[in-house]
């Protein structure tokens, strides 16, 4: 513990993944919820518009720790050869509010988001789910392939992406690193191959920057589980009204979903569903307080500050033990 910010330990991306592998990230998130953490109590993110993009702040406090993630989104950065999203996490002692550590904020997001999805899938998806379809080719797509294969007996992966080279790169990664059958299916339209892939999939992970639905909501079969993580904006969505209406819908927290999740806000605004259509939040799901209906199952994630805090605290504790 130190009040000298220059002496803070910095946990970079490689260190974070070494200290908290994916399976451990899923476990510590579940442990926190079972210990009584209420996701509804977490403050919502705040966004400040800046000349170069946005600054997002995500504070949280739970148990022995507090923390805040500061993330910037600069749409013009890829053209400059810089990352679109950058950020840092600052972890504090919960009692004294003394700074304890700084962490790579983007790496933290890339770890905790698929870990949260995997936790939901562990309690929501059919036990024998083996066919995975991933929309997207960025870090979250890679993370979700790994995370969902860790909690379900995934045997094959189909990657749908607009860039054929990037889609094939993710498929090759799934074959080499995860030992899965994998193929690339370029495009995010409604071609016959993609419609068939959506209809066949047991698990569908939507990890894109799309602002409009990726596929027709009548396509996923009853019992399939769809995870949507690509957006935290109220007017952007990856899923259409039809899918949301016919599905058991679970969210991280009702408070965040009704403020940030276009996938549910837009159908509500259309009158397709009401707020009562949300079956429950993540804490209620893992406590066994909800039962999926006969249709598909949907988990909509916007990303919440408590998740960053729990995983960052686990990384710090592992680092502290190793450095002692």
Q: Give the tens place of pLDDT for each residue, 154-184.
A: 999 999 999 999 999 999 999 999 999 999 9
Tokens of 165: 């080279």
pLDDT confidence of residue 84? 86
The average pLDDT across 268-288 equals 97
The reported pTM is 0.94
| Of the listed ranges 13-27, 92-106, 179-193, 198-212, the one predicted with least confidence | 179-193
Q: Provide the pLDDT for residue 22.
A: 97
Q: Domains in the chain, please, with CATH?
A: 10-108+306-322 (3.30.1780.10), 116-303 (3.40.50.720)
The percent of residues in the chain predicted with pLDDT above 90, rounded, is 89
CA distance 113 to 22: 10
Least confident of 19-23, 160-164, 200-204, 304-308: 160-164
* 324: pLDDT strictly greater than 60: no
Residue 4 has pLDDT above 60, yes or no: no
What distances in angstroms separate CA 259 from CA 201, 212, 265, 274, one per listed residue? 30, 18, 8, 14
**Residue 81: partners with Cβ closer than 8 Å, 6 or more residues away:** none
CB 224 within 8 A of CB 203: yes
CA dihedral 48, 49, 50, 52 (to 10 degrees): 120
């Amino acid at each position: 513990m130190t009040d000298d910010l220059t002496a803070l330990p910095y946990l970079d991306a490689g260190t974070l993944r070494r200290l908290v592998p994916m399976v451990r990230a899923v476990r510590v998130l579940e442990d926190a919820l079972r210990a009584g953490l209420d996701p509804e109590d977490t403050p919502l993110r705040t966004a400040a518009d800046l000349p170069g993009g946005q600054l997002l702040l995500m504070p949280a406090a739970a148990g022995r720790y507090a923390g805040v993630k500061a993330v910037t989104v600069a749409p013009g950065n890829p053209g400059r050869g810089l990352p679109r999203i950058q950020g840092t996490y600052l972890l504090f002692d919960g009692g004294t509010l003394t700074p304890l550590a700084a962490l790579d904020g983007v790496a933290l997001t890339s770890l905790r988001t698929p870990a949260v999805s995997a936790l939901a899938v562990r309690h929501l998806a059919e036990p024998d789910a083996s066919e995975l379809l991933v929309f997207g080719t960025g870090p979250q797509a890679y993370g979700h392939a790994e995370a969902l294969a860790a909690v379900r007996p995934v045997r094959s992966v189909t990657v749908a992406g607009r860039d054929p080279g990037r889609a094939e790169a993710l498929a090759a990664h799934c074959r080499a690193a995860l030992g899965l059958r994998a193929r690339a299916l370029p495009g995010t339209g409604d071609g016959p191959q993609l419609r068939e892939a959506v209809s066949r999939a047991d698990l569908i992970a939507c990890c894109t920057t799309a602002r409009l639905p990726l596929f027709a909501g009548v396509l996923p079969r009853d019992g399939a589980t769809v995870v949507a993580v690509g957006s935290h904006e109220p007017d952007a969505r990856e899923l259409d009204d039809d899918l949301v209406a016919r599905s058991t819908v679970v969210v991280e927290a009702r408070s965040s979903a009704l403020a940030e999740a276009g996938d549910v806000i837009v159908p509500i605004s259309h009158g397709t569903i009401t707020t009562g259509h949300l079956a429950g939040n993540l804490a209620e799901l893992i406590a066994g307080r909800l039962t999926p209906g006969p249709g598909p199952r949907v988990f909509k994630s916007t990303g919440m500050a408590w998740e960053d805090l729990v995983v960052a605290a686990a990384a710090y504790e592992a680092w502290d033990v190793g450095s002692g």
